[in-house]
Amino acid sequence: MKLCIPTTGNEGLKASVSGHFGSAPHFTIYDTDSEEIIVIDNQNLHHTHGNCQPLRALSGVEIDAVVCGGMGAGAIFNLNQGGIRAYLGQEGTVQEIAKAFQEGNLPELTPSNACSQHGCHN
């Protein structure tokens, strides 16, 4: 399973999860099977709310799920349309988030529990 974990840094397994999908400086892709890590810079992290395009940064990268501190309903809808599920993982490192995901301890993000503004989460 390939997880996309928006992160504040590019330290691989030690990188901290970002508070929000669209404004994360990096996207750390972690393959839970092979333990391979790829870090992608988010070139669209400075945007007005509702106008982010993080999926463009991930274009061409195969992912199965996104785990982050929060995201808006539009991003959740767009991910779900592409067969990608979103999960809430508000604190920790990539390694901690991946472990919690594999243990089934992270709630799924849906449009009903999505963020409505940037200040709605950590």
**Distances from the Cα of 110 to the Cα of 9, 73, 77, 107, angstroms:** 26, 7, 8, 9
**The pLDDT of residue 119 is above 50:** no
Percent of the chain with pLDDT over 70: 81
pTM: 0.84
Q: Which domains does the chain have, with CATH numbers?
A: 2-120 (3.30.420.130)
**Cα Rg of the chain (Å, integer):** 13
Nearest-angstrom CA–CA distance, 41 and 83: 23
89 three-class SS: coil
Q: 24-78 pLDDT, tens per residue?
A: 899 999 999 999 999 998 876 654 555 455 566 677 889 999 998 878 788 888 8
